[in-house]
């Protein structure tokens, strides 16, 4: 039996100085998480000496895998030599912004921030400032960060008027947040007809935080039509999908342009970053050009934009998306065969380099949060995650989190992973 006392000892220490022993609740598993000593390519090595093939990939940012290509390392080292923070603009952030604007179809202007949470919070504020309206429509099951206005508990339809799902969030902060199911444009239409003070519809174009769950044919197009008809802004949260589903994100893949977009994760090559941007007339409302206030000491951090810009150039130059998409397709196909043989009631979802086995009860691929809720999430969390770790595979410890292929994964990794799934599911 593997000796995991290294992680246990660290967890005991962490419990004394950190709530729950972790810096983010998604990292918490029973009875305690493993602690990572190092990452290399597609693998992590734990403090217990386990070497695991990694499909968590930092919850999505590590498109290139652990470690950075030589060109990205050189860019980071050069910037560190020149200084890590100035409190003043740099040419690098202008080049980064130009690169993003040239590739994301809906972006005409953008603002750099530090996290996906900050990006979506600021995008919602910009939408409210531009429209003068207070309410937002949020798609149920979508995660848009840990800011107060989007921490709303489950339940959809016109009766959902913002019940907080976190202690410490006043009801007054969420009473303007209306929820609708994913892939239900009719519900959006009903809400927009009922309320005339909606600033924006906020949606992950592909649900990444309780999935992956893809949009039905015509769903995003209908959202675009409805928001335009009612004078409401459409906001795509592409923190997960940006630069992963396509160089221009999900909006390029699905051919639907929102008014505002949020980015993060892949854009920073593993360094903290957030981006929000879109139509020029909306973004000109952001301070100092307009009255929507947003600021941050570390926004446009020189080291982050150096890493992000050079990594995005590498992604294009080396056709990284072509490689990871092909590997993702191979993995999903193999998983479908494994599931058909071992657990035919389960389903395999995903697109491009994103994948997941859903522990569905009926063999039907989930279309929204309620469908994912009907999966055997407890078995996934309590049993399957541990079995996969014991088989040498690191997955996010929840049925609700997407899994990611990186440029560092190989076909040999995929074959070994399929064998691990087969063993664990049996």
pTM, to two decimals: 0.95
The total number of residues shown for the chain amounts to: 426
Structure tokens at 101: 């604007």
3-state secondary structure 142-163: CCCCCCHHHCECCCCCCCCECC
156 confidence band (pLDDT: 50, 70, 90) = very low
**pLDDT over 70 at 323, yes or no:** yes
- Burial of residue 49 (number of CB atoms within 10 Å: 0-12, 13-18, 19+): exposed
Structure tokens at 33: 């998480």
Q: Is the peptide bond before 8 cis (omega within 30 degrees of 0)?
A: no
Strands 274-278 and 354-358: unpaired
Question: Which one-letter DSSP state was computed for residue 378?
Answer: H
Q: Please, what is the angle between helix 302-317 and helix 91-103, to 10°?
A: 40
Start-end of CATH 3.90.1150.10 domains in the chain: 5-67+319-425
pLDDT, tens digit (0-9, with 9 covering 90-100), for 84-122: 999 999 999 999 999 999 999 999 999 999 999 999 999
* DSSP per position, 291-309: SB----TTTT-HHHHHHHH
Instruction: Give the separation between CA 235 and CA 260, rounded to whole angstroms.
Output: 5
3-state secondary structure 87-125: CCCCHHHHHHHHHHHHHCCCCCEEEEECCHHHHHHHHHH
* DSSP per position, 161-181: B--BSSTT--HHHHTTEEEE-
Start-end of CATH 3.40.640.10 domains in the chain: 70-316
Instruction: Give the separation between CA 226 and CA 247, rounded to whole angstroms.
Output: 27
- Sequence-separated (6 or more) residues with CB below 8 Å from residue 303: 76, 79, 80, 84, 271
Tokens 């303007």: give the residue. Answer: 176
4 confidence band (pLDDT: 50, 70, 90) = confident
221 confidence band (pLDDT: 50, 70, 90) = very high
pLDDT, tens digit (0-9, with 9 covering 90-100), for 401-415: 999 999 999 999 999
Structure tokens at 382: 């309590």
Q: Above pLDDT 90, what percent of the chain?
A: 87
Of 96, 55, 39, 100, whose CA–CA distance to 324 is shortest?
55
Structure tokens at 255: 């051919």
- Sequence-separated (6 or more) residues with CB below 8 Å from residue 176: 134, 135, 136, 149, 162
**Mean pLDDT of the residues in the chain:** 94
- Sequence-separated (6 or more) residues with CB below 8 Å from residue 30: 382
Q: Which CATH number fits domain 5-67+319-425: 3.30.930.10, 3.90.1150.10, 3.40.50.1820, 3.40.50.300?
A: 3.90.1150.10
The stretch 273-292 carries a mean pLDDT of: 98
Of 306, 271, 246, whose CA–CA distance to 104 is shortest?
246
Q: Distance of CA 365 to CAs 19, 39, 351, Å?
A: 36, 33, 13
Q: Which CATH number fits domain 70-316: 3.30.950.10, 1.10.20.10, 3.40.30.10, 3.40.640.10?
A: 3.40.640.10
Structure tokens at 41: 């390519």
51-54 sheet: strands from edge to edge: 36-40, 43-46, 51-54, 393-394
pLDDT, tens digit (0-9, with 9 covering 90-100), for 241-281: 999 999 999 999 999 999 999 999 999 999 999 999 999 99
Neighbours of 147 (CB within 10 A): 17
Instruction: Give the separation between CA 13 and CA 194, rounded to whole angstroms.
Output: 53
Given phi > 0 = left and psi -120 to 50 = alpha, else beta, which region is 314? alpha
- Sequence-separated (6 or more) residues with CB below 8 Å from residue 327: 353, 405, 409, 411, 414
26 confidence band (pLDDT: 50, 70, 90) = confident
Neighbours of 219 (CB within 10 A): 20
Of 4, 5, 37, 59, whose CA–CA distance to 401 is shortest?
59
């Amino acid at each position: 039996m593997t000796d995991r006392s290294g992680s246990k000892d660290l967890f005991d220490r962490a419990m004394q100085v950190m709530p729950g022993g972790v810096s983010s609740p998604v990292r918490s598993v029973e009875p305690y998480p493993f602690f990572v000593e190092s990452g290399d390519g597609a693998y992590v090595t734990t403090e217990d000496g386990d070497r695991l093939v990694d499909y968590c990939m930092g919850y999505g940012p590590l498109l290139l895998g652990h470690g950075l290509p030589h060109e990205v390392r050189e860019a980071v080292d050069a910037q560190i030599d020149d200084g890590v923070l100035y409190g003043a603009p740099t040419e690098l952030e202008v080049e980064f912004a130009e690169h993003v604007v040239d590739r994301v179809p809906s972006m005409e202007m953008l603002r750099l921030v530090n996290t996906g949470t900050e990006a979506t919070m600021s995008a919602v504020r910009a939408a409210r400032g531009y429209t003068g309206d207070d309410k937002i429509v949020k798609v149920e099951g979508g995660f848009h960060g840990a800011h107060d206005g989007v921490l709303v508990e489950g339940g959809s339809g016109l009766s959902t008027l913002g019940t907080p799902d976190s202690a410490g969030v006043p009801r007054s902060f969420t009473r303007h947040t209306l929820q609708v199911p994913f892939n239900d444009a009719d519900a959006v239409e009903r809400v927009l007809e009922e309320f005339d003070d909606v600033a924006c519809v906020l949606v992950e174009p592909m649900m990444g935080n309780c999935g992956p769950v893809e949009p039905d044919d015509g769903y995003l197009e209908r959202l675009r039509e409805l928001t335009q008809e009612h004078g409401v802004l459409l906001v795509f949260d592409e923190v997960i999908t940006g630069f992963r589903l396509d160089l221009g994100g999900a909006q390029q893949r699905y051919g639907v342009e929102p008014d505002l977009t949020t980015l993060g994760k892949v854009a920073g090559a593993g360094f903290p970053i957030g981006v929000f941007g879109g139509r020029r007339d909306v973004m000109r409302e952001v301070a100092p050009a307009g009255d929507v206030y947003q600021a941050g000491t570390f926004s446009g951090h020189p080291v982050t934009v150096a890493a992000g810009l050079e990594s995005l150039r590498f992604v294009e130059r080396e056709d990284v998306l072509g490689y990871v998409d092909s590997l993702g397709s191979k993995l999903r196909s193999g998983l479908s065969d494994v599931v058909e043989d071992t657990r035919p009631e389960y389903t395999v979802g995903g697109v491009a380099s994103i994948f997941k086995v859903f522990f569905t009860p009926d063999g039907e691929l989930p279309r929204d949060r309620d469908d994912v809720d009907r999966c055997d999430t407890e078995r996934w969390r309590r049993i399957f995650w541990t079995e996969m770790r014991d088989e040498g595979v690191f997955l996010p410890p929840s049925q609700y989190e997407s899994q990611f292929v990186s440029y560092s994964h190989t076909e040999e990794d995929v074959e070994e992973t399929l064998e691990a799934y087969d063993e664990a599911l049996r």
